[in-house]
């Protein structure tokens, strides 16, 4: 080991001292900055990741939509299934309705599912808390827990659904009575927007509510693992008729994902300042060290050290502080992420604000997903910034003339 590396280690972790206090302070500064960066980028990444999981598990990776009604849904379904990489496709009808139960109104989206094909695309079963998907029939619905709460409805209750078709019929002096459905189950996806605005029924019931005949609003598509959404969209759009187009889930949620990504990037750069501030503290403590050890630096020159090596000794100290702080910070970040839900629920519960949390942050649990690229960027940035903090002290140390340094008081 070169002497400057050895001495840097010894100055940070001196022989015979169990707890190097000054080193620990510098290291903790970097560790806290890195820890916060890991937590924030992971939570922001988690929102995007959870969103993807929920969308893909409820709607599939790709949606085929028509500008008008998709009249020949079975034919379109055959076309979509013939595309390489498509492993499942299911038609759907979705639109807003008014629901009345126990005198309470709600205005959710009614999503009509094709029970024969939906499980090949969506994994809705895992979100159902009471009842089963198979319990659905043309006179039954499954409500989200939020909608059920708004209506005061429970499984076994009867609800009335009014569709926009009712208004159309009224214009031509026809009477169109609301449809009565039985609640056969409750589901909870975990995303506040979806949970507060969705009820599931059969596609036939939805077609009837909207007067679509055999038509559909679109087709949800499940892809083979390894096939990318963009690839599948290109293949589908090549064969779809004019007026019908395939969209990946990212395209459908483009604006929301862009905002999420922007928030993540802005947060990253704002929080990077914590690491920069920590680096200033490293620089300050190393500058003090240069002043305090002036005579030792002179001695090193007398022993045969070159100015470049003296500089390296201080750069190595900054590098070690940066590396150790980053390693501890990454551990700290992942540690906090592991208990994040306990922390969030504990704080929200203490403040009696669990509902507000759900309402504004959309998820019942705080999501977290660490992208390897984000982690690598955080680690590299923290180590580079901390090491750069050692340059000024290193330069000052290297400039000291041994003969003057040895004379200093």
Partner 1 sequence: MSNAVLAGRALAKTYLSGDRRIAVLREVSLEVAAGESVSIRGESGSGKSTLLNLLSGLDAPDSGTIEWGGAAPAVDRRAKFLGMVFQSFYLIPELNAEQNVLMAARMVRTPTAAARARTKELLARVGLAERATHLPAQLSGGERQRVAVARALLNSPQLLLADEPTGNLDEQTGNAVVELLLELCRESRTALVLVTHNAAHAQKTSRGLFLHEGVLR
Q: Which residues bind partner 1 (CB under 8 A)?
A: 1-3, 6-7, 10-11, 14-16, 295-296, 298-299, 301-306, 401-403, 406
Structure tokens at 372: 């390897």
Pick between residue 142 and residue 300 the one whose CB is nearest to partner 1: 300
In the complex, minimum distance from the CB of residue 381 to partner 1, in angstroms, rounded to a whole number: 30
Pick between residue 329 and residue 402 the one whose CB is nearest to partner 1: 402
- Give the C-alpha separation, 177 to 100, whole Å: 13
Pick between residue 22 and residue 280 the one whose CB is nearest to partner 1: 22
Q: Are 308 and 364 in contact (CB under 8 A)?
A: no
Structure tokens at 89: 């496709």
Pick between residue 242 and residue 304 the one whose CB is nearest to partner 1: 304
Structure tokens at 70: 């998709």
In the complex, minimum distance from the CB of residue 231 to partner 1, in angstroms, rounded to a whole number: 55
Pick between residue 11 and residue 42 the one whose CB is nearest to partner 1: 11
Task: Give 212's Cβ-side CA count (13 Å radius).
Answer: 26
Pick between residue 306 and residue 399 the one whose CB is nearest to partner 1: 306
Structure tokens at 320: 């070690």
In the complex, minimum distance from the CB of residue 318 to partner 1, in angstroms, rounded to a whole number: 17
In the complex, minimum distance from the CB of residue 312 to partner 1, in angstroms, rounded to a whole number: 13
308: exposed, middle or buried (Cβ count in 10 Å: 0-12, 13-18, 19+): exposed
Q: Which residues have a Cβ under 8 Å from the Cβ of 78 and sit 6 or more positions away? A: none
In the complex, minimum distance from the CB of residue 290 to partner 1, in angstroms, rounded to a whole number: 15
In the complex, minimum distance from the CB of residue 289 to partner 1, in angstroms, rounded to a whole number: 11
- Give the C-alpha separation, 29 to 329, whole Å: 9
Through-space distance between the first and last CA atoms of the chain, rounded to whole angstroms: 31
Q: Which helix (H) or strand (E) covers residue 245, if one does?
A: strand 244-248
21: exposed, middle or buried (Cβ count in 10 Å: 0-12, 13-18, 19+): exposed
């Amino acid at each position: 080991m070169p002497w400057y590396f050895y001495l840097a280690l010894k100055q940070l972790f001196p022989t015979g001292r169990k707890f190097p206090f000054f080193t620990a302070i510098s290291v903790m500064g970097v560790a806290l900055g890195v820890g916060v960066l890991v937590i924030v980028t992971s939570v922001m990444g988690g929102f995007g990741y959870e969103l993807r999981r929920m969308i893909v598990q409820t709607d599939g990776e790709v949606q085929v939509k028509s500008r008008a009604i998709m009249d020949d849904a079975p034919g379109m379904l055959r076309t979509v299934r013939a595309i390489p990489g498509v492993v499942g496709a299911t038609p759907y009808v979705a639109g807003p309705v008014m629901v009345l139960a126990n005198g309470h109104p709600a205005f959710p989206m009614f999503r009509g599912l094709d029970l024969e094909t939906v499980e090949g695309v969506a994994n809705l079963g895992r979100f159902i808390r009471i009842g089963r998907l198979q319990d659905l029939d043309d006179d039954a619905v499954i409500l989200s827990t939020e909608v059920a709460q708004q209506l005061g409805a429970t499984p076994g209750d009867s609800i009335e659904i009014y569709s926009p078709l009712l208004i159309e019929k009224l214009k031509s002096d026809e009477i169109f009575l609301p449809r009565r459905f039985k609640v056969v189950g409750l589901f909870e996806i975990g995303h506040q927007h979806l949970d507060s605005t969705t009820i599931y029924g059969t596609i036939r019931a939805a077609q009837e509510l909207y007067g679509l005949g055999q038509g559909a609003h679109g087709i949800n598509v499940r892809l083979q693992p390894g096939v990318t959404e963009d690839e599948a969209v290109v293949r589908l759009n090549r064969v779809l008729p004019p007026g019908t187009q395939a969209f990946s889930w990212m395209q459908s949620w483009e604006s929301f994902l862009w905002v999420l990504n922007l928030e993540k990037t802005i947060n990253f750069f704002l929080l990077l300042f914590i690491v920069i501030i920590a680096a200033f503290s490293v620089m300050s403590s190393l500058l003090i060290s240069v002043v305090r050890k002036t005579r030792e630096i002179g001695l090193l020159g007398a022993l045969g050290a070159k100015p470049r090596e003296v500089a390296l000794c201080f750069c190595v100290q900054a590098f070690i502080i940066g590396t150790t702080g980053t390693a501890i910070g990454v551990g700290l970040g992942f540690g906090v992420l592991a208990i994040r839900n306990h922390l969030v629920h504990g704080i929200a519960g203490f403040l009696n604000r669990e509902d507000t949390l759900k309402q504004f942050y959309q998820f019942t649990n705080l999501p977290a997903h660490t992208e390897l690229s984000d982690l690598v960027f955080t680690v590299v940035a923290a180590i580079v910034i901390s090491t750069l903090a050692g340059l000024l002290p290193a330069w000052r140390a290297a400039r000291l003339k041994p003969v003057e340094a040895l004379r200093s008081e």
